Structure 1
Amino acid sequence: MSRPPTFTPPPCARARALSTRRGNFAVLDARPAGTPRGTVLLLPGYTGSKEDFIALLEPITEAGYRAVAVDGRGQYETDGPDTQEAYEQAELAADVLAQAEAAGVPVHLLGHSLGGQIARAAVLLDPSPFLSLTLMSSGPAQVSPGQQERVKVLGEALASMTMEQVWQAIRAMGPVEETPTDGEDLRRRWLRTRPAQLIVTGRQLAVEPDRVDELTAVRPLPKHVVSGERDDVWPVPLLDVMAKRLDARRTVIEGAEHSPNTDQPLRTAAALTDFWDGAHR
């Protein structure tokens, strides 16, 4: 489970609803003091939320960019149905196109982990709204065997237990106090996430096909592969190879693991904004 350092947005950001042709999405909308150099759309990962990007918002806006971090459908503060069909990857990708349109196209698109695979699907559906694509700790195909087993176990638990019961089981496996985040914030986020969303997206992570060649063919679209030095979801050497296949910029964030956005936000923001600056040029 991703654990942002805080659930309190910085002064540059406000929580609001982004109204789109596919419904309303809860976002943190962070704006620079002057006219933005561009807009960045940030998609969180599995079990995550827009709060996973809070530590990036100030440095991104200080570099002149507007950042819109999104709760996808069924994630935390964005409502979603209880039917599993609503969370198929094509549906979530179509949501991203609507979010980009509402944020004001064209936008730079970034997806973390699961969010990266949804971002990829959105670009393959229609690349025209996007100035660039950043895949952060998000691999070419299915997650590692160990992670496949984890999402399988979680899916089985969600099918037979309440969200509160599953939360208590998660707490029994590891303390939520590993970061300064208030454990009650994490619990509230968990309880407000739709079980159907977790079941379907977890299943997708375990069977995702390799679509790198399809993405490579999307030109001209600058691409960026970012990760920490270590990653137990997709091995770092696999991400290295993916970046080469994509002819993408490759950045490894020193001192970070699967979530560079929370492990090393300043280093991560510097790498991201430098890439976006280059994409503009």
Structure 2
Amino acid sequence: MSKPRSLALPPRTRAYRLVTARGGFAVLDREAVGAARGTVLLLPGYTGSKEDFLALLGPLGEAGYRAVAVDGRGQHETPGPRGRAAYRRRALALDVVAQAAALGDGPVHLLGHSFGGLVARAAAELAPDAFVSLTLLSSGPGRVNRPQRVRVRALRGALALLPKEQVWRATRWLDSRGEEPDVTDPPEIVAFLRRRWMTTRIAQLSGAGRLLLGDPDGTAALAALPMPLHIAYGDEEMVWPTAALAAAAALTGAHHTVLVGAGHSPNVSHPEELAARLTAFWDLAAQVSTASSGAARSRPAAPGAAGRGLAGTG
């Protein structure tokens, strides 16, 4: 989960329901300033929402990118079914493909933060032609670390046994004993976090947790994708092992960005720097896409800089 520091909408940002072939999804849509350089679809993480990208929307728009952050099905302001089947990997991936199509800008850049990276990978595998590039932000093709697996199992177990309000209070109490005590949160942020928790479907929280716990190492599938890849994270990342993320970047030939001083949510803590790194990658990815237009895109035979054409470390 990311915790926004402000709930103010950036200039030129609209909040509305994006109508797609698979239903409506709550979005924050930040228009590009000047000549549009592309469109990016932003997927939030576990227990998060579109507001996780509020600090990032402005810099992306100023850089010439239309940036659209979305609540997935059952997440915060997007309705969702109660049934377990609605939150399987393929169902969530089909939603993302429909969202990209509904934006009406052709293939888009796709970014998934944390759990959103798992969904983004699934969408890219399902419909690669819908996306110009794929960025995994604080997210890997491998498993989350052991403390996070324990935490997710405990949360799913609590939701199955206890009232949602009680689980919320317990979660906040645990946070207050850790790195982010309640006293650091302004009242409006606490109110927002509670509202987001209460409006998110239990089935979504349980289903997303199940996918996080059961997600196999997807490095091989990621390497097979026919699009430019980007793996970005902070050097203080605490959900995925940074060594595993670096290894995945090397094995897939992905562009590789490490933000110094950032933790699990560079989109909140380092939005300006992250935006600069992202837009530089997307500019290069668009050049690759343009150069290969008119021919079928295929995965390069070998990983690394020569294979992807974009590999590098920031």
Match of 1:250 among 243, 247, 256: 256
Whether the aligned pair in 2 keeps the contact of 1:6 and 1:51 (CA below 8 Å) is no
Residue matched to 2:293: none
- Separation of aligned partners in 2, 1:78 and 1:36: 28
Whether the aligned pair in 2 keeps the contact of 1:44 and 1:52 (CA below 8 Å) is yes
Please tell me the residue identity of whatever aligns with 2:233: S
What's the offset of the Cα at 1:255?
1.4
Please tell me the residue identity of whatever aligns with 1:254: V
What's the offset of the Cα at 1:35?
4.0
Please tell me the residue identity of whatever aligns with 2:141: P
Residue segments in structure 1 that go unaligned for 5+ positions in a row: none
Residue matched to 2:126: 125
Alignment partner of 1:182: what SS?
A: helix
- Separation of aligned partners in 2, 1:242 and 1:64: 30
Residue matched to 1:113: 114
- Separation of aligned partners in 2, 1:179 and 1:131: 37
Count of aligned positions: 280
Residue matched to 1:215: 222
What's the offset of the Cα at 1:177?
4.1
Whether the aligned pair in 1 keeps the contact of 2:142 and 2:244 (CA below 8 Å) is no
Whether the aligned pair in 1 keeps the contact of 2:44 and 2:52 (CA below 8 Å) is yes
- Separation of aligned partners in 2, 1:8 and 1:176: 21
Whether the aligned pair in 1 keeps the contact of 2:144 and 2:241 (CA below 8 Å) is no
Whether the aligned pair in 2 keeps the contact of 1:141 and 1:207 (CA below 8 Å) is no
Residue matched to 2:190: 183
Identity percentage of aligned residues: 54
Residue matched to 1:41: 41
Residue matched to 2:86: 86
Residues 179, 252 of structure 1: alpha-carbon distance in 2 compared, 3 angstrom cutoff: farther
Q: Structure 1-normalised TM-score? A: 0.97
CA deviations 1:237-263 (Å, max 9, x no partner) are 110000011101100111100111011
Alignment partner of 1:140: what SS?
A: coil
CA deviations 1:28-64 (Å, max 9, x no partner) are 0000233421110000000000000000011101110
Residue segments in structure 2 that go unaligned for 5+ positions in a row: 288-314
Write out the 4+ residue segments of structure 1 that deviate beyond 6 Å after TM superposition. Answer: none
What's the offset of the Cα at 1:21?
0.3
Q: Structure 2-normalised TM-score? A: 0.87
Residues 47, 177 of structure 1: alpha-carbon distance in 2 compared, 3 angstrom cutoff: farther
